[in-house]
Structure 1
């Protein structure tokens, strides 16, 4: 008879844990308090359009995301637009990596960068070479700002700071340099295609959570929506009861506060550590301009005190109607404090300054979405909670201790790892 395993929370980590647990031979039940799966990367309906609660970029190095997507039937070659890494501004300046191995392509892209002086390009080339020679390692106490302090201001403003905000959702002066370099290592220091951008051509729920739910149900697993777990109790000798139902093992794939609520009577130290995490918001401003079409599906923007967005996505080139744009503000605490109306107004002004050749006024704001607890603040020396909570009780999520910041790949890897830990412990 199969061992029974409950996964509580059906975000990307929970869906990954459930799929992997079925592969490991468990009889799986997946609990989700909402009507939809996907957590902080899911579909939202805006004015009749199936869009997302935020923009998520995948990378070629996201091997576990891609593996599980394919396993549950996602057509990754069709549902993801794959291009070499390009961080291009509307005026054509920026980095354009060619095909092939990322590290040589990066050096060529830096050398060919438009808009920078020869000294600025050489400074970044020297720094990139130094990071490579040091195997993308640094002192754990360094911030990204300290790591890059000797780079020219323009290089930091136009490349490092927006890249850090996108990868870690943490301002450079607070972000962990060690984690930043680890991300660079895996995207630039791996094999061909690892640095490629993978832009979703469908809404995020269709990219993994919904196909995962269908796959699980076909495999005999149970997916219980609209069920917020209220009680987690010990069940002799080594199992657990989830709202009174007996299981041999449990994976808490819910947000850290919710996981802490459930496990506090059994693992108070773990609960305290989970609740000590600080979080940073991300804001997405959806706006529409008739007939607008950007030169790339994604453009970098010049962000500063009066210009909030770091990137804009042309959803008309992905999975939306022509003219629909999504402006992304990472590390958004300062703008959230100003209010969504002021933020949206600042985005419109920024768009008309930087994208005027592609926009015919007016630019109409459709909706601004703030994900208040989008990711944990990825600061130097951060102690994240362990995947092991108690006997037969594990945690999964992008907040769990691991090599990645709060990304889809980090969440999926944490889910897979928790299912494998459960299998190794029980068999």
Structure 2
């Protein structure tokens, strides 16, 4: 079969590899001059990443795809046990070992919380576990965790929620949040480990995929029209995977599947801002620190890129759920002020660069209707926004790409 994959991000790469391994003749159409989608590097010396991405040990399909394309995750990613240290505070650290034991020991050892707060979190987690990490689909994370001690909500729930769902806890889906907790904290030894890129983001998947695809990858090609049958800008194919953004997929599928397009078009988005600061000679206490955000403190996390094999003295401050800051014109000066107040610097930090991804993720709200993977017979969609249990993550994109490819294969066999 001859199959088209429209989009060369992580979902499109996953779909293309799955189809090619099944013996299909593939063509990947990517509108940008380089693959990678929203998870790529941009020009710089060394390159900047289009936002600081984190993988976790539970991302088994992403890690397997990297290996398939010749990337060794152990060399490309720095593995750290889950830890949320704050400036001057040890924060929560999970020790190695079986998930339930590690979580219990880590919580009990957290001396920054009173014993009542630690026991309250363990009791709540036990209840989530007993209910299979399921809840009412209309419940928000803030409502789910309303009974937790304030310190736990401030230091654990809220930063994890905005990091995983890119949606503030009062507006974030509790159902999706619980699924993230289940897979990250309770699905196996090492699942909660943080995997921080040691290399520019494009080198994790996009660049190796481009080399592997070769002439099958058509860069700078924005598809203009799909026709039932299937034709991509007049070229005939036996099946199509729409692995582009939901906005592009809505446009392309509108005349073929208007109901599907209407669902995709209804999605709303949350931005992420990454502010890079430069301070020669400065080294943070850990490669990643959590920060307490607020009206004058935009960032929730900071990464010391020098400790991750990147440029020494370069620091990435991540502002998730950044809609208010985008609306006000940016937050580089506010981040600089936050950094100056909260961290110790060997030399005064200066603003290096600010990158804004206005459609970084869909807004993961309670009861959200997400479009299904199957658009029409022979036409499947892939992307981190497709209906499923996960928020907009790299692993969600990879799994969606693989599922769409399997759908095309099943349609062909049927």
Which bin holds the TM-score, normalised by the shorter protein?
A: over 0.9
1:21-60 Cα offsets, whole Å, 9 max, x none, are 11122100000011111111101123x2212010111011
Q: Map 1:163-242 onto structure 2 (within 5 A).
A: 163-217=160-214, 222-235=216-229, 240-242=230-232
> Offset at 1:129?
1.6
Matches within 5 A, 1:272-421: 272-340=262-330, 343-356=331-344, 359-421=345-407
Select the residue among 215, 235, 257 that pairs with 1:267: 257
Superposed counterparts of 1:102-121, under 5 Å: 102-121=99-118
Task: Report if aligned partners of 2:41, 2:48 keep a CA contact under 8 Å in 1.
Answer: yes
Kindly indicate whether the alpha-carbon contact (under 8 Å) linking 1:7 and 1:28 is maintained by their aligned counterparts in 2: yes
User: Any idea what the Cα deviations from partners look like across 1:357-414, whole Å, max 9, x if unmatched?
Assistant: xx13421101111100000010111010010011110100001111110000000000
More displaced 10-residue stretch of structure 1: 120-129 or 391-400: 120-129
Aligned residues of 1:187 and 1:195 also touching (Cα < 8 A): yes
The corresponding residue for 1:40 is 38
Q: Check if 1:157 corresponds to 2:147.
A: no
Structure-2 separation of matches of 1:338 and 1:376: 20
Q: In structure 2, how many angstroms separate the alpha carbons of the residues matched to 1:307 and 1:166?
A: 16
What is the CA-CA distance between 1:103 and the residue it aligns to? 2.3
Aligned 8 A contact 2:69 2:208 in 1: yes
Question: What are the equivalent positions in structure 2 for 1:4-153 lying under 5 Å apart?
Answer: 4-46=2-44, 48-153=45-150
Query: What secondary structure is seen at the aligned counterpart in 1 of 2:47?
Result: strand
Could you tell me how far 1:285 is from its partner in structure 2? 0.2
CA contact (8 A) 1:101 1:190 kept: no
Distance 2:375 2:93 in 1: 44
Greater than 3 Å deviation, 4+ residue runs: none
Gaps of 5+ in 2: none
CA distance in 2: counterparts of 1:351 and 1:202, whole angstroms? 24
- Could you state the TM-score of these two structures normalised by the residue count of structure 1? 0.95
Task: Determine the C-alpha separation between the residues in 2 that align with 1:298 and 1:114.
Answer: 20
Counterpart of 1:127 in 2: which secondary structure? helix
Q: Greater shift after overlay, 278-287 or 146-155?
A: 146-155
1:330 Cα deviation (Å)? 0.6
Aligned-partner SS, 1:110: helix
1-structure distance, mates of 2:341, 2:36: 35
Aligned residue pairs, count = 413
RMSD (CA atoms): 1.1
CA distance, structure 1, for counterparts of residue 102 and residue 342 of structure 2: 27
CA contact (8 A) 1:24 1:419 kept: no
Closer, same or farther in 2 for the Cα pair 1:114/1:348, shift >3 Å? farther
User: Take 1:110 and 1:408, find their aligned partners in 2: how far apart are those partners?
Assistant: 28
Residue 122 of structure 1: how far off its partner (Å): 1.7
Residue 234 of structure 1 deviates from its aligned partner by 2.0
The CA distance in 1 between the partners of 2:55 and 2:375, in whole Å, is 29
Please give the per-residue CA displacement for 1:73-92, whole angstroms capped at 9, x wherever unaligned. 00111001011111111213
Which string of whole-angstrom CA distances, capped at 9 and with x for unpartnered residues, describes residues 315-342 of structure 1? 00113221100000111111212222xx
Deviation of the 1:115 alpha carbon: 1.8
So what's the TM-score if we normalise by structure 2? 0.98
Asked if 2 retains the 8 angstrom alpha-carbon contact of 1:85 and 1:196, the reply is yes
Q: How far apart, in 1, do the equivalents of 2:346 and 2:327 lie?
A: 30
Alignment partner of 2:228: what SS?
Answer: strand
